[in-house]
A and B are shown apart, each in its own frame.
Chain A
Amino acid sequence: DGGITQSPKYLFRKEGQNVTLSCEQNLNHDAMYWYRQDPGQGLRLIYYSQIVNDFQKGDIAEGYSVSREKKESFPLTVTSAQKNPTAFYLCASSAPGQGEVVGELFFGEGSRLTVL
């Protein structure tokens, strides 16, 4: 079955450590996204990538970094510069112009990061 796989599901980090969240998709989608979710704040866009080897900052990119070396993969690194990293992180993909409705996102199951 096609879908988006995020790992790990739960992650604990000590202050000052960088961590990388994995996101893999087999939907053959060109576009991929990372959102951060905090209680009562909805979803906020961190980074997105419309094509391999290219990505753009979203609304809250500070303290995060990404790469897009393969179409299927879009890992997110939460760096020590992120002051409040405890949150639920969601990866998504879409395929505007590839037969999917413009803007419709397909989500992974999420990764919950807790800083100790």
Chain B
Amino acid sequence: AQSVTQLGSHVSVSEGALVLLRCNYSSSVPPYLFWYVQYPNQGLQLLLKYTSAATLVKGINGFEAEFKKSETSFHLTKPSAHMSDAAEYFCAVSPYSGGGADGLTFGKGTHLIIQP
């Protein structure tokens, strides 16, 4: 069984400040991990993914995430927030054994607010 916990349903940062969105996972097998972004009334767009290669993963729009097995974490960061980063962010997990065709398990999401 797998699960994802995103700490903080809402995170507020100032424009230009560091963005840190937290994600911890639970998986009985080695996982693949994903971060998705969702803008209002739209679908989800992939930001980045961890697939057991490099532990530091770079994604689109200046975001990156680091896989830490010892902490079972996959936190998302961006050095300098921009107003356009305001959105809902979802962390998700999938086992890379067993085919993985039964979908992803998602966290409840973190709403990122950017203060001018």
**Size band of the B side of the interface?**
20 to 34
Interface flag for A58 (CB, 8 Å): yes
Question: B44 and A31: CB pair below 8 A?
Answer: no
Question: B43 and A42: CB pair below 8 A?
Answer: no
Question: A48 and B103: CB pair below 8 A?
Answer: yes
Alpha-carbon gap, A30 to B32, bound state (A):
20
Among B59-67, B69-77, B93-101, the one that faces the other chain is B93-101
Task: Please give, as numbers and ranges, the residues of chain B lying within 8 Å of A56 by CB-CB distance.
Answer: 102
Question: A104 and B46: CB pair below 8 A?
Answer: yes
Question: A40 and B103: CB pair below 8 A?
Answer: no
Chain A: CB-nearest residue to B33: A103
Query: Quick one: given A104-B46, A104-B49, A110-B42, are A97 and B99 in contact (CB under 8 Å)?
Result: yes
Question: A42 and B51: CB pair below 8 A?
Answer: no
A-contacting residues, B10-63, CB 8 Å: 32, 34, 36, 41-46, 49, 51
The residues of A with any CB-CB pair to B shorter than 8 Å are: 4, 6, 30-31, 33, 35, 40-43, 45, 48, 50, 56, 58, 88, 90, 92, 94, 96-97, 101-110, 112
The residues of B with any CB-CB pair to A shorter than 8 Å are: 9, 32, 34, 36, 41-46, 49, 51, 90, 92, 94-96, 99-104, 106-109
12 chain-A/chain-B pairs, Cβ below 8 angstroms: A31-B101, A33-B103, A42-B106, A43-B44, A43-B106, A48-B103, A101-B49, A102-B32, A103-B100, A104-B32, A104-B34, A105-B104
Task: Give the top 3 A-B pairs by smallest Cβ distance, nearest first.
Answer: A103-B94, A102-B100, A107-B43
